[in-house]
Structure 1
């Protein structure tokens, strides 16, 4: 019997497809997400990229493909702060694809139940959650000397990660690329962006189509950030007019690192007034009463200004207190070694992040997302004790001037009820760059209501506030966060 030519062509095509090697990135494809039932609205990938073969230094990422048009939508890298805070903080509690509900049945094995997050940033972009530096989250090194690190080394490793990542996913090389994050990512982002721009200038391949960055409540400059809490507390009605006038006069408007003894005494009085507030969101309640909290922490070295941490407004309330994102008022990050939170009392119960911990320390989850076992990485922690971190870059102001001066877009946003990195300090340093105001201070709207205020500067620099939000804007105001994120990425008016 004669063989049909069409059958012969089909046979050759099928044989060629079978013989074609599988793309390496397909080995990172997630086929199921433990705790979630149903169909994912887009593909998810995760795994390790080695940034140092000799040391076995591996950075873990989780990629959520855009639910819109991934062929053209921006690719955005998300980094949490710390230093040493896992970016699964953002994935689980902020702008990730799921809302997590605590597991309480034997049928689920105690695993959290995952629901689709209607305000995920993957609605309009592909987003990469990166655990960096090595030792943070699920990232690790076989040479533990790598856990002594700093800003410069972290930026270099993250740049190596990106170059290898785009080789792994060449289909995204032409997509607009942005870097985003919050808190100490106010240092991570400009330093990484500088490495990316340097690579572009030097012709490093692949060429990253870098367009800009966005930073939420980010640590930037010790002078501006450290001096902002007193005026913020006064403006928010947290200290009296008399107290403000006294501290302002004695300290001559310089509140941080002022060595004058009389000034230090007045600053101590201000901190005493603020000690029972939720520093991440001054309107949010504290998890424990002041008396109970003080009793629990009586033996701790944790500063009093960070002992009262509050709740959040997620659709499913999974986080009772927040931890590891910014420094207390009396421990502003300075040049040199940055002490880790475990040194300040991590051994005592100062957080309730059981949801993320129970999910990421479950072996079925780790297998599904291609993460190494606990005996390799250690247990997942929101904030690691493994790294010994050096802040070795100083102020970020020159980084911002250099980046925006070269035409890269920058959105600097602040939840306006954050006492850790107050919006007033961030507003001050954006003004201090000296750029011409292109768009005067005005309200921006969501659902026909004022959602905050925005000011536009020359060189594509935008400063904005998010009304009623605390330190982690996508957690406290997920709807508004997705709205401004969408508008800014698309280049439309916020």
Structure 2
């Protein structure tokens, strides 16, 4: 039976605003991961335009925690580009066109909204919106098992888990659950996990928190005098300074200098929308930097990670400096929801980039032991960083990958996406590659789509970067 016929109920046959033929088969809908509580995770599956029967399957996860993977779909590497109708002064409906740097040119791409309460995923039980790293990984694993039961023709393909930002927690914790299940399962239930990749991903509270000041100084955002004083007073430990210390006072001064910078890409403007949003932005940045432990921040109990919506208030569930009108307009349109087999708002709720419905606890601690375990079991890992991201700077990612003490296969060298221009730098360890992308921010495929496609293609194919 034809694949599209077998999965006809989830087949996407058209999308409002897109006037082209699809270059491959697209599916979307819900997978129920808990029947008793009514917990339903939403996915969009764009099969490969090249060789879907043999190309790898990639699960994409955005972070937050609490942010939708439609961020990656709409702004980074999904099949379409989105823009408002310029013929109407940018105030018309959305126009979708093919994305020449879409990742489903080389892979079968699954975009998953996880956990329940994020994006278009929802639960019929309110208590499900109180969750943590462990529950999220277990639900995502259950999703994968049921997804591959449904799309069994893809179960044999190489499988990779990829994500960015707080998916630096989502990705390795899910990979650990999948790997553990594979070791205990019979051949039918095994998922063909080959590796994982994380872009500008959180990993370790202390290492990530200590990375910001050296990054800011290295990018000429802090004076030499202030940085030397900081380093001396804080003894190189910036992440947990007390407020009444000299280190804390100097950190306040440093963050005053950084306020107003787009933390996701220091080269890009900071989007403001009126005085109220500007005030909310300053409030968010104060909360963001106040605890000295970014990216795990906020006035919350230890271990509890505030989702962006709680920090931003009037910003409308948008991370600071970013503007996401296209995503809101697209996924809060009734006709679009119907075309994508998503539940209407009265069931699944209004779509927001980052959900204010969930309460999330970071209960798994540092990811360093998990990375070491996964690589030791033969999984291939790619850790990549846009080198102009101040949210989770490359300085931290380079430090923790080095701290794993893996054998070095190739020392630091440039890599090229094309024939002549340097795209970034890479250090290759046994089982793990660390790569930078020159000029990219937190969302690498958004600012450097060509380089991101080259990077992920070579990693999935096991080629040298």
Q: Quickly name the TM-score band, shorter chain normalised.
A: over 0.9
Q: Secondary structure at the match of 1:122?
A: helix
Contact 2:42 2:121 (8 Å CA) reproduced: yes
Contact 1:83 1:184 (8 Å CA) reproduced: yes
**Alpha carbons of 1:228 and 1:299: their partners in 2 closer, same or farther (altered >3 Å)?**
closer
1:71-220 matches, cutoff 5 A: 71-103=53-85, 110-203=92-185, 205-220=188-203
Contact 1:442 1:454 (8 Å CA) reproduced: yes
Max Rg structure: 1
Q: Secondary structure at the match of 2:232?
A: helix
1:227 aligns with 2:193: no
Q: Following TM superposition, by how much is the alpha carbon of 1:286 offset from its aligned partner in structure 2, in angstroms?
A: 2.2
Q: Following TM superposition, by how much is the alpha carbon of 1:328 offset from its aligned partner in structure 2, in angstroms?
A: 9.4
Aligned length: 453
Q: Take 2:162 and 2:54, find their aligned partners in 1: how far apart are those partners?
A: 18
Contact 2:263 2:390 (8 Å CA) reproduced: yes
Contact 2:383 2:434 (8 Å CA) reproduced: yes
The residue aligned with 1:443 is 414
**Alpha carbons of 1:237 and 1:373: their partners in 2 closer, same or farther (altered >3 Å)?**
same
Q: Secondary structure at the match of 2:41?
A: strand
The residue aligned with 1:333 is 296
CA displacement, residues 13-32 of structure 1 (integer Å, 9 cap, x when unaligned): xxxx8xx9996522111111
The residue aligned with 1:261 is 245
Q: 1:247 aligns with which of 230, 240, 249?
A: 230
Quick check: 27-36 or 83-92, which moved more? 27-36
Q: Secondary structure at the match of 1:225?
A: helix
Q: 2:258 aligns with which of 254, 274, 285?
A: 274
Q: Take 2:276 and 2:329, find their aligned partners in 1: how far apart are those partners?
A: 27
The RMSD of aligned alpha carbons is 2.4
Q: 2:426 aligns with which of 436, 449, 454?
A: 454
Quick check: 118-127 or 340-349, which moved more? 340-349
CA displacement, residues 382-407 of structure 1 (integer Å, 9 cap, x when unaligned): 01000011111000000000000000
Q: Following TM superposition, by how much is the alpha carbon of 1:178 offset from its aligned partner in structure 2, in angstroms?
A: 0.1
The residue aligned with 1:46 is 28
Q: Take 1:123 and 1:305, find their aligned partners in 2: how far apart are those partners?
A: 41
Q: 2:359 aligns with which of 379, 388, 406?
A: 388
Q: Following TM superposition, by how much is the alpha carbon of 1:363 offset from its aligned partner in structure 2, in angstroms?
A: 1.1
Q: Secondary structure at the match of 1:347?
A: helix
Segments of structure 1 that go 5 or more residues without pairing to the other structure are: 1-16, 308-325
Q: 1:238 aligns with which of 196, 221, 224?
A: 221
**Alpha carbons of 1:221 and 1:153: their partners in 2 closer, same or farther (altered >3 Å)?**
same
Quick check: 376-385 or 345-354, which moved more? 345-354
Q: Following TM superposition, by how much is the alpha carbon of 1:109 offset from its aligned partner in structure 2, in angstroms?
A: 11
Q: 1:36 aligns with which of 18, 27, 41?
A: 18
Segments of structure 2 that go 5 or more residues without pairing to the other structure are: none
**Alpha carbons of 1:244 and 1:21: their partners in 2 closer, same or farther (altered >3 Å)?**
closer
Q: Take 2:324 and 2:367, find their aligned partners in 1: how far apart are those partners?
A: 31
**Alpha carbons of 1:125 and 1:298: their partners in 2 closer, same or farther (altered >3 Å)?**
closer
Q: Secondary structure at the match of 2:425?
A: strand
Per the normalisation by structure 2, the TM-score is 0.93
CA displacement, residues 267-324 of structure 1 (integer Å, 9 cap, x when unaligned): 1111111112111111112234xxx8666444678333589xxxxxxxxxxxxxxxxx
1:464 aligns with 2:425: no
The residue aligned with 1:345 is 312
Q: Take 2:386 and 2:11, find their aligned partners in 1: how far apart are those partners?
A: 35
Q: 2:447 aligns with which of 465, 469, 476?
A: 476
Q: Secondary structure at the match of 1:404?
A: helix
The residue aligned with 1:410 is 381
1:480-491 matches, cutoff 5 A: 480-491=451-462
Q: 2:343 aligns with which of 372, 377, 390?
A: 372
The residue aligned with 1:304 is 285
Contact 2:205 2:293 (8 Å CA) reproduced: no
Q: Take 2:406 and 2:162, find their aligned partners in 1: how far apart are those partners?
A: 22
**Alpha carbons of 1:138 and 1:235: their partners in 2 closer, same or farther (altered >3 Å)?**
same
Per the normalisation by structure 1, the TM-score is 0.87
CA displacement, residues 135-179 of structure 1 (integer Å, 9 cap, x when unaligned): 000000001110000000000000000000000001111100000
